């Protein structure tokens, strides 16, 4: 347990300046894992040094990889080869890292040893059955709490079997877990997804030398990995995390007079749905200096304030912005007219029930919000809600950050009861936002 760290956000003037957000969390996790499986030394620049990613680094060390940080912030990983991980001496504590947990379950499943995994209260409440089901088809076994929850034991198999698995729900984490189990599995392992999800795993596997095919089929997008490749060390430059960039971008969109630049943001089309959605609402977001870094499209985002209007955000966009709906809802609460966010069932099983967090928190702030099935309807008046409330973060970093952004435009301050979880994905969040002109402060 940690001591709560309350923060309060107050109304700010026009924002200005240039910032760089922390490295992409999804890519950071994968860089450490694939570097830990590759032969030779992988150098990683721009790694997100949040608690979630550091948990992955610790887990890879515990299973035999060498992971070190240089004084200049560059990370070095010396791998053990595909199939070379060793049984950890102690349980792997993943903290709040859901991505790390699910991907590591896949890695471990195809190794002939047993590993125990646990995490914080939030992670221990999250369902893991969607991962265990396909991995059990490949030969692994799991012992879990009820509903597939942590703590759990992964009992890996010495004779993994390749499968072709169709995702029942779009999930990059489940897809990646199956493909990672396929690394140490003979033959070809395939995952079919009805809705395309982020493809960092496929991109980075190729970067390290694996053969991955992607085909469009009548059932959906099919990713196929040729098993037991020789992965070779490959340097990785981690772009700015689009999920983290969404917070200053929304701030620039809703605070009158703002003109900011968020530099070096990863713009993988399967991750950039929030920026498309904001543009649908009338936001002024320009891509400057587009380039490719580490196999991923990157650009600097110039964001200027413009009045927002309501829009209907389609369900098919959800996989490309599943972590950004909370902060998008803050923008919708400041827009004029009705915004409908469709297909949000996945928000109910994130670090917290984020759909409830949108409805309850915005309603408390004075906004008009309706939840109809898996859709969230926000009726904006063209002016921000009044604020003046304390929001319970529920150990969820994105709840905390989203409402701190909203507090920059509400007439009355918004207080977050505990912002400590922000360090899992965005260390230094308050200071970086304040450098643009926000007014986020700890209580005296």
350 is in an annotated binding site: yes
Numbers of helices and strands, H then E, in the chain: 13, 24
Q: Could you list the active site residues?
A: 323
11 is in an annotated binding site: no
| Burial class of residue 277 (count of CB atoms within 10 Å of its CB; 0-12, 13-18, 19+) | buried
What is the β-pairing status of strands 284-293 and 114-118?
Answer: unpaired
Is the omega angle on the peptide bond into residue 151 within 30 degrees of 0, that is, cis? yes
Q: What's residue 162's pLDDT?
A: 98
Higher pLDDT: 186 or 424? It is 186
The pLDDT tens digits for 364-389 are: 999 999 999 999 999 999 999 999 99
Instruction: Give the whole-angstrom CA distance, residue 68 versus residue 108.
Output: 22
User: Could you tell me the strand order of the sheet in which 188-193 lies?
Assistant: 164-166, 188-193, 220-226, 212-217
171 is in an annotated binding site: yes
Give 179's Cβ-side CA count (13 Å radius): 32
Closest CA to 175 of 150, 154, 192: 192
The pLDDT tens digits for 313-353 are: 999 999 889 899 999 999 999 999 999 999 998 888 776 68
Q: What is the pTM of this model?
A: 0.84
- Residue 208 contacts residue 16 (beta carbons within 8 Å): no
Confidence of residue 38 (pLDDT cuts 50, 70, 90): very high
Domain 7-23+239-442: CATH superfamily, name plus number: Enolpyruvate transferase domain (3.65.10.10)
Instruction: Give the whole-angstrom CA distance, residue 12 versus residue 261.
Output: 17
323 is in an annotated binding site: yes
Identical fold between 7-23+239-442 and 25-226:
yes
61 is in an annotated binding site: no
Q: Sign (positive/negative) of CA torsion 404, 406, 407, 409?
A: positive
Closest CA to 84 of 235, 236, 228: 228
Boundaries of every domain in the chain: 7-23+239-442, 25-226
Q: What's residue 334's pLDDT?
A: 98
Topology classification of domain 25-226: UDP-n-acetylglucosamine1-carboxyvinyl-transferase; Chain (3.65.10)
Confidence of residue 187 (pLDDT cuts 50, 70, 90): very high
137 is in an annotated binding site: no
- Residue 63 contacts residue 86 (beta carbons within 8 Å): yes
The pLDDT tens digits for 149-161 are: 999 999 999 999 9
């Amino acid at each position: 347990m940690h001591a709560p760290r309350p923060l309060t956000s107050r109304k700010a003037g026009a924002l200005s300046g240039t910032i760089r957000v922390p490295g992409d969390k999804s890519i950071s996790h994968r860089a450490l894992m694939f570097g830990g499986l590759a032969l030779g030394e992988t150098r990683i620049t721009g790694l997100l040094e949040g608690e979630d990613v550091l948990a992955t680094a610790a887990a890879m060390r515990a299973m035999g990889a060498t992971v070190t940080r240089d004084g200049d912030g560059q990370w070095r990983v010396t791998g053990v080869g595909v199939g070379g991980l060793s049984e950890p001496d102690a349980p792997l504590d993943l903290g709040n890292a859901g991505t790390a947990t699910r991907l590591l379950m896949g890695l471990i499943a195809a190794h002939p040893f047993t590993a125990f995994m646990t995490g914080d209260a939030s992670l221990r409440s999250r369902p893991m059955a969607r991962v265990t089901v396909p991995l059990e088809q490949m030969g692994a076994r799991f012992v879990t709490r009820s509903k597939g929850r942590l703590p759990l034991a992964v009992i890996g198999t010495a004779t993994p079997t390749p499968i072709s698995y169709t995702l029942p729900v779009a999930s990059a984490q489940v897809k990646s877990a199956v493909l990672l189990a396929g690394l140490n599995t003979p033959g070809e392992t395939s995952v079919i997804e009805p809705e395309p999800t982020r493809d960092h795993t496929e991109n980075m596997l190729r970067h390290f030398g694996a053969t991955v095919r992607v085909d469009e089929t009548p059932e959906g997008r099919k990713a196929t990995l040729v098993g037991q490749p020789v992965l070779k060390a490959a340097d990785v430059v981690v772009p700015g995390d689009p999920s983290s960039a969404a917070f200053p971008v929304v701030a620039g969109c809703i605070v009158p007079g703002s003109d900011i630049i968020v530099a070096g943001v990863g713009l993988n089309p399967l991750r950039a749905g929030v920026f498309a959605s904001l543009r649908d609402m009338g936001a002024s977001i320009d891509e400057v200096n587009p380039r490719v870094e580490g196999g991923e499209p990157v650009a600097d985002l110039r964001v200027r304030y413009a009045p927002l209007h309501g829009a209907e955000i389609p369900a098919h966009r959800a996989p490309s912005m599943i972590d950004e709906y909370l902060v998008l809802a803050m923008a919708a609460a400041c827009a004029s007219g009705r915004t409908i966010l469709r297909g949000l069932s996945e928000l109910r099983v994130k670090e917290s029930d984020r759909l409830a967090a949108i409805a309850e928190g915005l309603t408390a702030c004075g906004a008009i919000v309706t939840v109809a099935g898996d859709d969230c309807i926000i009726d904006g008046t063209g002016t921000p809600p009044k604020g003046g409330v304390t929001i319970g973060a529920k150990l969820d970093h994105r709840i905390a950050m989203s409402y701190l952004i909203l507090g920059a435009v509400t007439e009355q301050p918004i207080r977050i009861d505990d912002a400590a979880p922000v360090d899992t994905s965005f260390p230094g969040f308050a200071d970086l936002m304040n450098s643009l002109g926000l007014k986020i402060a700890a209580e005296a």
